[in-house]
């Protein structure tokens, strides 16, 4: 973590909360949660959109949305977010499906709609200005609705933000077991911190 104030908390309340959660959970509170507790008046809108996109109503399951987040993290080389969202996806989808998708989503045993959507999201992440209506059309032809693709675009856009600040701030990488336990917390409590 490159900003010590984020790591320790910027108020008595947040410092107490960080210590309490770390003690109760038996692990260091991940940096993603510390960011959510920091300078709350500034970052609250991103938490709200993240919660809505990841846990709000959608034709995508929570597992599929977490897998999309993990894929954006892979395309952006963000090791913290790969680990975090891989762990949550694995609580909702078969481990082998998640691993195969992260390895090569074009050959993974996932539905054609999700596969076509990932093609779109990869271009959105790596070459956003090259996206055309033909790219969206190809996803529609795989049976994905306009609403569903819009939901997926929201998920990918949000994780194009989160992966960037995670790496810019140099989030500490938890162990596999810690990612697993943090995943339980995120499934239970969601992303809203405010």
Partner 1 sequence: MKSRLKPDHRALAESLRMRTLEGPGETEPALRKAVAACAAGEDGPGDATGQSPYYALARQIGEAAFRTTDAQVAEVVEATGSEKGGFEIILTAAVGAGLVRWQCGLRAVEGATDASA
For residues 101 and 125, which CB has a smaller minimum distance to partner 1 in the complex?
Answer: 125
| No. of helices (H) and no. of strands (E), the chain | 11, 0
Q: Is 43 in the site for partner 1 (CB under 8 A)?
A: yes
For partner 1, the binding residues in 49-108 under the rule CB under 8 A are 49, 51-53, 55-58, 76-79
Which pair of structure tokens corresponds to residue 28? 């260091």
The region of 92-100, 101-109, 147-155, 176-184 touching partner 1 under the rule CB under 8 A is: 147-155
**CB count in 10 Å sphere of residue 169:** 19
Distance from C-alpha of 141 to C-alpha of 137, rounded to nearest angstrom: 6
**CB count in 10 Å sphere of residue 181:** 15
Burial readout 109-136 (b: 16 or more C-beta within 10 A, e: otherwise): ebeebbbbbbebbbbbbeeeeeeeeeeb
Binding string to partner 1 for residues 103 to 132, with x set by CB under 8 A, is what? -----------------x---xx--xx-xx
For residues 76 and 101, which CB has a smaller minimum distance to partner 1 in the complex?
Answer: 76
Q: How far is the CB of 183 from partner 1 (least distance, A)?
A: 15
Q: What angle do CA 181, 4, 33 make, to 5 degrees?
A: 30
Q: Which residues bind partner 1 (CB under 8 A)?
A: 2-6, 10, 38-39, 41-46, 48-49, 51-53, 55-58, 76-79, 120, 124-125, 128-129, 131-137, 140-141, 143, 145-146, 149-151, 153-154, 156-170, 188-192
């Amino acid at each position: 973590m490159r900003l010590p104030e984020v790591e320790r908390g910027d108020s008595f309340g947040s410092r107490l909360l960080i210590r309490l959660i770390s003690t109760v959970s038996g692990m260091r509170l991940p940096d993603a949660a510390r960011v959510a507790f920091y300078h709350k008046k500034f970052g609250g809108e991103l938490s709200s959109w993240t919660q809505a996109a990841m846990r709000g109503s959608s034709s995508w399951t929570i597992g599929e949305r977490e897998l999309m987040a993990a894929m954006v993290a892979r395309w952006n080389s963000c090791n913290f977010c790969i680990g975090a969202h891989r762990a949550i996806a694995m609580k909702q989808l078969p481990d082998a499906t998640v691993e195969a998708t992260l390895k090569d989503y074009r050959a993974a045993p996932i539905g054609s709609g999700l596969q076509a959507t990932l093609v779109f999201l990869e271009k959105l992440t790596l070459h956003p200005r090259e996206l055309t209506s033909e790219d969206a059309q190809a996803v529609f032809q795989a049976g994905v609705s306009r609403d569903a693709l819009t939901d997926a675009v929201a998920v990918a856009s949000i994780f194009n933000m989160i992966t960037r600040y995670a790496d810019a701030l140099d989030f500490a990488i938890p162990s596999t077991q810690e990612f697993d336990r943090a995943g339980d917390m995120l499934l239970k409590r969601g992303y809203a911190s405010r």
